[in-house]
Amino acid sequence: MAAAMAFLAVVCAAAMAAVSGAEEVYEFGSGASFIFGDSLVDAGNNNYIPSLSKANMTPNGIDFAASGGMPTGRFTNGRTIADIIGEMLGQTDYSPPFLAPNTTGGALLNGVNYASGGAGILNGTGRIFVNRIGMDLQVDYFNITRKQLDDLLGKAKAKEFLKKKAIFSITVGSNDFLNNYLMPVLSAGTLNRPIIYIMLDRWPETD
């Protein structure tokens, strides 16, 4: 049900501009995937925070070849949809979780995963899990990565890298409905308007 209610918006910020070879940025590798969302694409960020929403135990990961069948913090027996998209784009390594200590330096050129199990569009979503990385904080984390890329590549090359070699995906929404709409007792006293209008206000239409 969660998968049916969540939406995946894959926004190509570059990577597919197959113009002349001179315009490609080959030194940046096969491309990077920057992933935002909830447990459907969490690659292990919740391993590093005190939360009731964790997947670092079996049977999670039993079919994940990259870990030898060991749990990684992914809420699935194998790959997430973000992992599969990365493979289809030719990535040699999966985008590491932002909070992992080795997500630094050259590892950033594979992209970074900011997703967190229990997160939602609204900051209050997922409070039942005690802790999670909400969408606002995920965006703040990306800004940290952006500055790290500037330091790693230089501002001009970092901008070119994000334009020509990066995609951004957002997979979120199911927890907002599960926690605030289907189980309104969890958000009692925190929402003074119907959930759908609050969510629409967060992401207004633009021309």
**Torsion (CA) 95, 101, 107, 108 in degrees, nearest 10:** 70
Residue 51 resides in a domain: yes
The count of domains in the chain is 1
Summarize pLDDT for 151-168 with one digit per residue, the tens.
999 999 999 999 999 999
Summarize pLDDT for 112-134 with one digit per residue, the tens.
999 999 999 888 888 889 899 99
Residue 31 resides in a domain: yes
Q: How confident is the model at residue 68 (pLDDT cuts 50, 70, 90)?
A: very high
DSSP secondary structure code for residue 170 in this structure: E
| Cis previous bond, 59, omega within 30 | yes
- Quick check: helix, strand or coil at residue 166? strand
Q: State which residues form the domain around 42.
A: 2-178
pLDDT at residue 194, as a whole number: 52
pLDDT at residue 163, as a whole number: 92
Residue 99 resides in a domain: yes
- 77: pLDDT strictly greater than 60: yes
Q: Could you count the other beta carbons within 10 Å of the beta carbon of residue 52?
A: 13
The residue that leads in pLDDT, 5 or 92, is 92
